[in-house]
Structure 1
């Protein structure tokens, strides 16, 4: 059961977090413009690098489970689930801010 959304992320009652990447053409184009394959694996690696900069402690509370067409992760509590989406949604909603992170990412740490 989906509780609420923090675009482009959605949260679920099992502390899940997801983003339907294939339904986000502007995001797909942005990642592709930097020669990244816009898939869940790529998002995971970029999100890890973003969190390392803005909220590194949160990483120990998230299990990533991406797929080709979507980003999926699970938090260990509702508190951490909300912290994740509240931290990342503003970045992913503002494509200029997201682009700053994408353009400065360590490409060797991105599996796409």
Structure 2
């Protein structure tokens, strides 16, 4: 897949290439806030840690084949997933973004996310 096409498909996530690894990140806040607001009373804010928790459930349930090669490094203001395997990270973000765009799927996954 052409990298520019990938970048367009995964927005508002963004792709970063490093010398020996790859990252996909999201500035927390704004995208899918309505999902996180459903559990605000539990402490979810839609920050980077909350996104990592959601992404963990996604990996465990939908793409366990990627679990060994995808890692998360969230911060309060940013979600970040990284891997030395660019192809697997591309698979992850394309599938995760598709899940995020399906309201029923993302709500179901988020129902099992744990507050970090």
TM-score between both structures, scaled by the size of structure 2: 0.78
1:76 to 2:84 alignment: yes
Aligned residues: 105
* Aligned with 2:12 (options 5, 8, 15): 8
Mean Cα displacement is larger for which, 29-38 or 51-60?
Answer: 29-38
Q: What root-mean-square deviation, in Å, do the aligned CA atoms of Structure 1 and Structure 2 show?
A: 1.8
Provide the secondary structure at the position in 2 that maps to 1:44. helix
Q: Which residue of structure 2 aligns with residue 29 of structure 1?
A: 34
User: 1:97: Cα distance to partner?
Assistant: 2.1
Q: Which runs of 4+ in 1 moved over 4 A?
A: none
Following TM superposition, by how much is the alpha carbon of 1:46 offset from its aligned partner in structure 2, in angstroms? 1.4
Deviation at 1:62, TM superposition (A): 1.4
Give the alignment partner of residue 19 of structure 1, picking from 18, 26, 48. 26
1:102 Cα offset (Å):
1.2
The worse-fitting range, judged by mean Cα deviation, of 90-99 and 62-71 is: 90-99
Among residues 95, 98, 104, which one is paired with 2:103 in the alignment?
95
Q: Residue 43 of structure 1 aligns with which residue?
A: 51
Q: What's the secondary structure of 1:60's corresponding residue? A: coil
Q: Which residue in the other structure is 1:66 paired with?
A: 74
Q: Is the 8 A contact 1:8 1:89 kept in 2?
A: no
Structure 2: 5+ residue runs without aligned partners?
A: none
